[in-house]
Structure 1
Amino acid sequence: MGQGARSRRAQADDGELGAAVARAQQGDEAAFAVAYRIVQPGLLGYLRGLVGEDAEDVASDAWLEIARDLDRFQGDGAGFRGWTATIARHRALDHLRRRRVRPRQAALDPDVLDLPAPHSTHDQALESLSTEQALRLVRTLPQDQAEAVLLRVVVGLDGPAAARVLGKRPGAVRTAAHRGLKRLARRLGAEDAGGGVTDEPPRALGESK
């Protein structure tokens, strides 16, 4: 699914999400379950890109913290999406530190950025990917680009919200997402042509070679 389509779907859910969070803060457990249902798929996809097969365990830790600190949250549905992504990212980084593995960047030819994409738009490239294929390709990106793409496309955050999660300037996140999507389009074209660019097994962003 493309970045634009994913963002529109997230925005459509944000009204329901904000209402559910407000009710959950008043003690409505069913409303908390609604908020979980809306947020969890994107959050889990983001964590799969960060920690791989440990994503569900890290997500469980994140949701324990989200539930514990829910009364402290102030904001709307979009704000809640960003708040939960920040918590999940902190738990993922803690997990990687416990494994004593430093996040690494994939060694890609910088000239790839200057090659023409095989599709007319990044959205068209991503819309042709299955979820697992998309995550597998995202894991081959440098970490800053991978996180920017995951937050924008998978979690559904806008540029400023993604920047707050990453502690970076919105312009830097937009640039990283753009370059990441361009690389994905190029790699998708290489796969379609049988180039074998992504033959290495899927890995988490924090995994070492």
Structure 2
Amino acid sequence: MRITAENFIKHLKKNREEALQYVIDEYIGIVKAIIYNALKSYNDPQIIEECISDTFLGAYENAKQFKGDKEDFRKWICTIAKYKAITKQRKLSKAPFFYEIDETGNAVKSAEDEYLIKSSTEELLMMMSQLEQLDRDIFTMKYFLNMKNEEIAEHCGLTKAAINNRLYRGKKRLQQIHLGGSMS
């Protein structure tokens, strides 16, 4: 079986390791750039590499939830990378205050803390998957790629007011999804 640009998503959803290797080869550059930009201030290559690995593992473990084509997948994996980097930043910024330090000087994290961080990231990605494709793209550009509303509007061919409106409605929709209700 040969993994190609046309079939990698299908095979990734079937948890085929060859598809994961294809995804790593294809997207390592963009994932590394996103994570490096977010974590470069920590000046620790090990943290960056760990976050890159977590990104690809997260994509692999959650592939069945992905809906879309190759371009959507690129945005999706970039979103995962940004979230993993944000999660890592939060952990690192809180480490001295909320975690015990062992005799080697490493932060000791509880299983509960690890679970909460992982589940909140996965929950947000799942909630975002329930938004319309355009709204997912807008949220990704705004909150994960840190684009300005004007840039998003230009990219999507919409007005800035339309982007503002979609962001506002999208946030309300995510709140409804989070609270278990539905909003038409």
TM-score (norm 1): 0.43
Q: Which has the higher contact order (CA 8 A, sep 6+)?
A: 1
